[in-house]
Amino acid sequence: MHLFRQLLVFIFCVLLAYACQPKQPVKSTALSTEKKQVKESEKEEKKPTEQQTSVKKKTQYADVSLEYKVGQMIMMGINDRKLIEEKDALRGEISSGKTGGIIYFEKNINATYAKEMLKKMSLDLQALAKIPLFISIDEEGGKVHRLKEKYGMIRMPSAGYLGKLNNLDSTIFYNRQLAALMSEVGINLNFAPDVDLALNVNNPVIAKVERSFGADPVLVSAHAKACIKAHHEYGIKTVIKHFPGHGSSATDSHYGITDITKQWQFIELLPYKEVIRSGSCDAVMTAHIINCRLDTTCLPATLSKVIMTDILRGVLGFDGVIFSDDMQMHAISKSYGLENAIKLSILAGVDVLVFGNNVTQSYRTTATEIHAILMKLVRSGEISEARVNESFQRIMALKDKKFE
């Protein structure tokens, strides 16, 4: 009952904060068209045939083993690989269903023939998988830009630049170029756009490196939806981040605990609310931040059932895939232990655990190791098979998702 009252107050505060926001004009000849498309997409979502489609999908994957379902909940960085050798252990991990997703970083891009090599690696990886892989990248533009011009690819400005320009047509233009390139090289999931609000201009991981479109939730929401629209035109799924908001932080969770309890504001939820409401949200990535105002146990959001399930799913109504931020970031790895962090995050509501392997050799892990830990937790009853099935259904729905 106490939690129920907290949630009622929370909803009221969110709605009040939204109602009080100034509506900053967003320059775009496509804005009215976008609104019509959102309305049309909402109508499409209400078609009764969707339930029939859902039943068909569930039947299609009814014979998938528990081991394969658990593997779909794991996404791995592939260390420094730029191609997949014949005797590479990763081949066996993928073909045996130990992982359902791969994430690329700049270190996986060859200096010459970059597009051709990346495309070949994507094709080789997919050929090994019985269930199609998420082949993903963290590609926001600006400082977080992997597919660079120096590799014969493209220029991609930062979200900060696009937010200051504040022209939706420009945001769509650049993101169409990016999405077309990703489609060409076999990438089907992008961990973007970043919908954090630039509330702290000295934030070392968001505002100072121009990863946010701005501090106004209306502007950020509009540009995030434009970015997503451009990706969808090329069949690329997107992941908005970092829930419930990293923009007010003063420290970087890559290096340790980041507590935003005192400075976090309710308006940081508004871009999530709007993108989810619009029907364009494919997936959400967690933040490894502590916010004791939202969860009095003071667990990082990734490990918090209050934040992931009660707020993101319950209050904001999101029923899609939740990806963790990199589980090897120090905010998690140095404070909670590998097995405990895996258990808490899944119980919190996370569907896919991301291990980027952007760490020194001694701290790197494998899909086999993570899979073994998850199976141990399931067999012991600490994580139920029903919980695995929930994530599996969401993951497969996202993998099967098509855009018209």
Environment class of residue 152 by beta-carbon count within 10 Å: exposed (0-12), middle (13-18) or buried (19+)?
Answer: middle
How far apart (Å, rounded) are the C-alpha atoms in residues 90 and 77? 11
Question: Pairing between strand 101-104 and 189-190?
Answer: unpaired
Q: Scanning the structure block, which residue is given the tokens 């993928």?
A: 94
Q: Which two tokens stand for residue 117?
A: 């090599």
Q: Active site includes 282?
A: no
Residue reference for tokens 């970083």: 105
Reduced to 3 states (helix: H, G, I; strand: E, B; else coil), residue 284 is strand
**Is-contact 156 141, C-beta < 8 A?**
yes
Set 259, 325, 326, 351: catalytic member: 325
User: Rounded distance, CA 229 to CA 45, Å?
Assistant: 16
Q: Which residues contact 99 (CB under 8 A, 6 or more apart)?
A: 71, 74, 75, 76, 93, 133, 367, 371
Query: What is the number of other CB atoms lying within 10 angstroms of the CB of residue 75?
Result: 26
Question: CB count, 10 Å around CB of 113?
Answer: 12
CA distance 210 to 163: 9
Amino acid at residue number 399? K
- 328 burial (CB, 10 Å; 0-12 / 13-18 / 19+) is buried
Q: Which of 124, 169, 254, 330 is catalytic?
A: 254
Is residue 254 among the annotated active site residues? yes
Phi–psi pair at 226, nearest 5 degrees: -65, -45
Q: Which of 45, 29, 56, 160 is nearest to 396 (CA)?
A: 56
Note the residue count of the chain. Answer: 404
Active site residues: 254, 325
